[in-house]
Structure 1
Amino acid sequence: MRIIYIHQYFVTPEEGGAVRSYHLAKGLVETGVEVEMITAHSSGEYDFKMVEGIKVHYLPVAYDNTFGFAKRSVAFFSFVRLAKQLLKKLNRPDLLYITSTPLTTGLIGLWAKRRLALPYIFEVRDLWPEAPVQVGAVKNPVLKKALYKLEKRIYQHALKIVALSPGIRNYIENIVPAGDISLIPNFSDVKFFKPSFQKDEEYLKELDWKKEALSFAYTGAIGDVNAVGELLDFAEEAQLRNKNWQFAIMGKGKRLAALKIIAKEKKLNNLKFLPFGDKVAVRKLLSVTDVSFISFDHLPVLKTNSPNKFFDAIAMGNAIMVNHKGWVYNLVKRNKIGVVYDSQKMDLGIAKMEALDADRKRLKGMKHRASDLAVLHFSKEKALSRLLFTLDPKKYPLPTIDEVYMLIA
């Protein structure tokens, strides 16, 4: 089988960020599937690299998450145009595997199906345009109507659709009830992220953290919808109450500079901002962390998210502090791997963490159950088996019942 995988934001573990496409593409190559990746980079010219057996084409399309709506739109459509041009030059694949966001990548699939008679599978990471509409980034009623129409067309013409969470799957089912939709959530690299129940004392010194103090960390994007500011509020309250708790934030995004100013104004001596790092840096921080903060703004569409940081955290055996209701909330509650934090009920949030701090046996149980959840249900190997089944169910039957459905039933 030969696949052309299209992901505008493809990155490797060394680059840091969301590496789902890297692991899935690498896994496909290891099973004998030929994979070519079409992606973009900020360089001014085309480049080609072999990455772990993946043939990667880098198109010259500059992008940064600090871009405004207009500059983002230019980047999205530039990628579509250049990807079309490249597809006409490449050897014909059996199918295209196209991942969003942005939604505009679906235009490549629609064009390829019409002009080249190529089928495509469309992977939905986030709901577009629903997310930018709810956030307020898209307000024009004509544009909204056009985007929703485009979304429906992309789903209707896809050979199959891959959803990253139950909420995304349910949303798509309402739009295209006859669609062939698979659920393949984000996953844990359990061979790389492993629990470290003994904290690295040298790294603790580097952070100026105390070994026995309860530690919290946020790793990931720091944008408008990530609600990282709620962790600053929690840290401030902990400091006011003379808790010896310690906090760290590692990430990048358009809200980072503003959060640093807020932290300085609040005089948060218990909070550190760490430079954005690759997976090795994330693992190092999580290895000395007790509780990972998993947060999103309080919009209905964001309940459907399948955040990479959650799966990294549980693989490392971190307890979870989740600020929003959704499928991650359900996983946390059902599997007893953390606590729910409501920023509007600060006293309750502090009380929950005081109880956890006082009962380290309970905390240890949460950490062990988190690690078990990652290994048993969310390993990258299980995600790959689900993807192979989606590609060719006769050749690659699922070896076991899909436990993800059981977890969220």
Structure 2
Amino acid sequence: MHIAVFSQYHTNPDCPATSRHYSLLAHLAKSHRVTLITTRTWEAQRLTQAYPWLPEGVEMRAAEVPYENKMGVARRVLSFGQYAAYAVREGLKLERPDVIWGISTPLTAAWAAAQVAKRRGVPWVFEVQDLWPSFPIAMGAVPTRWAQNRLFALEKSLYHSARHILPLSPDMTRYVENRGIAPSKITTVLNGTDLDLAALATPENVAKLRAESGLEGKQVILYAGTFGRANDIPTLVAAAEALALAQPGVAWLFMGLGFHEPLVRAAARRCPAIRLVPPQPRHAVFSWFKLADISVVSFLDLPVLDANSPAKFYDSLAVGTPVVVTNQGWTKQLVEQQACGWYAPAGNAPALQQLLTDVLAQPQLLIETGRRGQQAAATQFNRQRIAQTIQEILETSSVV
């Protein structure tokens, strides 16, 4: 079977990114022909050369379309449009695929997949990574009612034209169902994590990293991910500074890049307990999570963000490090039901500081909570199992 994959952002484990689809494509390519239509956005951002850029057996067609988290709205829209135009052109040139897999975000990537599927007369499967257009609208990126209505109409048409829909969280699934889509057409496939890479976080590697980083004898809190507008970074910085005054033995690591990097950098200059860690390749990030006593997964207090399925959530649990979440959606329910983490309200730095103070004072609780999280990761979040589910859906969907 020939599978055409439309994804604007391809990464591999050498990149400071989740590399979700690298794992999934590697699995698919063992059984099927896979053609990936993407961009070279991340290729220049490889931090190591430990992995081939493409999984074995995957063919690639890639556009030169730049993208950065720091871009403004107009520049992002241009990037999205450039990729969509390229993807439609290349999709129409391909040897006819049996099924198309369109991956949003952005929504324009899924639109390109749908256009090619329609013109080639083949079914397509829609993976919903973020809730577009609800997310950019909530962030104020789509100010006019006319543009919002057009995007909602596009979203609805894509849901209806897809043979099957793959949301990345239970809350996303409910969102899609509330748009009038039959549950039989939807399968939740969590973002998940790479347990083989998590296994690289051995005690020896973590001890070496701790010594090299000057963190021996420190309790460590980690935020690893994008310093984006949606990630509530100012609240984390405020909590970190307050915690440093109360508990000198705690170090708070901020790992990543993004819009709020200047804010984090300034905080690190004035507060020695706050450290800005450069982005790490995917295969190395697990040792940082394992080094930490606790990690924080934060978002603004917006209902649309409650549905998120962030990779750092799964990665932390995979190595036995408990998580504090700040949204009120399915991740809050999961950490409370499985006792593998805690909830602190978004935007409330004093509440976050107090929670961290309380749990850091209970080392055995941290260990037990982390152990439960690791068990959940092994049974529910394994990307190899998720890949098998996606393969079965693509195979079933290809039958006309």
TM-score when scaled to structure 1?
0.89
CA deviation map 1:188-239 (0-9, x unaligned): 211211364677343223222133x321111111110011222211111111
* Cα 1:83–1:291 shift into 2, 3 Å: same
Counterpart in the other structure of 2:211: 205
Of 206, 214, 217, which residue of structure 1 is paired with 2:219?
214
* Cα 1:304–1:360 shift into 2, 3 Å: same
CA deviation map 1:351-406 (0-9, x unaligned): 433332332221110111111111011111221122123223599xxxxxxxxxxx
CA contact (8 A) 2:220 2:251 kept: yes
CA contact (8 A) 1:109 1:154 kept: no
CA contact (8 A) 1:199 1:287 kept: no
Counterpart amino acid of residue 28 in structure 1 = L
Q: Matches of residues 3-402 of structure 1 in structure 2 within 5 Å?
A: 3-30=3-30, 32-42=31-41, 50-178=54-182, 180-194=185-199, 196=202, 200-211=206-217, 213-264=218-269, 267-342=270-345, 346-392=349-395
CA contact (8 A) 2:254 2:275 kept: yes
Alpha-carbon separation, structure 1, partners of 2:42 and 2:186: 36
Alpha-carbon separation, structure 1, partners of 2:349 and 2:394: 47
CA deviation map 1:150-178 (0-9, x unaligned): 11011111111110011111111111333
* Cα 1:344–1:115 shift into 2, 3 Å: closer
Alpha-carbon separation, structure 2, partners of 1:246 and 1:325: 27
Share of identical aligned residues, percent?
A: 27
Deviation at 1:345, TM superposition (A): 5.3
Deviation at 1:333, TM superposition (A): 0.8
Counterpart amino acid of residue 224 in structure 2 = T
CA contact (8 A) 1:232 1:263 kept: no
* Cα 1:343–1:5 shift into 2, 3 Å: closer
User: What number of residue pairs does the alignment pair up?
Assistant: 388
Counterpart amino acid of residue 88 in structure 1 = L
Q: Which has the higher contact order (CA 8 A, sep 6+)?
A: 2
Alpha-carbon separation, structure 2, partners of 1:116 and 1:71: 31
* Cα 1:110–1:345 shift into 2, 3 Å: closer
CA contact (8 A) 2:324 2:344 kept: yes
Runs of 4+ with >6 A deviation: none
RMSD of the TM alignment (CA)? 2.3
CA contact (8 A) 1:112 1:119 kept: no
* Cα 1:208–1:356 shift into 2, 3 Å: same
TM-score when scaled to structure 2?
0.91
Counterpart amino acid of residue 51 in structure 1 = P
Find the residue that maps to 1:98 and give its secondary structure: strand
Alpha-carbon separation, structure 2, partners of 1:207 and 1:41: 32
* Cα 1:43–1:276 shift into 2, 3 Å: closer
Find the residue that maps to 2:225 and give its secondary structure: strand
**Greater CA deviation, 123-132 or 351-360?**
351-360
Counterpart in the other structure of 1:406: none
Deviation at 1:88, TM superposition (A): 2.1
What runs of 5+ residues in structure 2 fail to find an aligned partner?
44-52
Find the residue that maps to 1:225 and give its secondary structure: helix
Alpha-carbon separation, structure 2, partners of 1:234 and 1:258: 13
**Greater CA deviation, 306-315 or 354-363?**
354-363
Counterpart amino acid of residue 181 in structure 1 = I
**Greater CA deviation, 176-185 or 93-102?**
176-185
CA contact (8 A) 1:41 1:63 kept: no
* Cα 1:356–1:262 shift into 2, 3 Å: closer
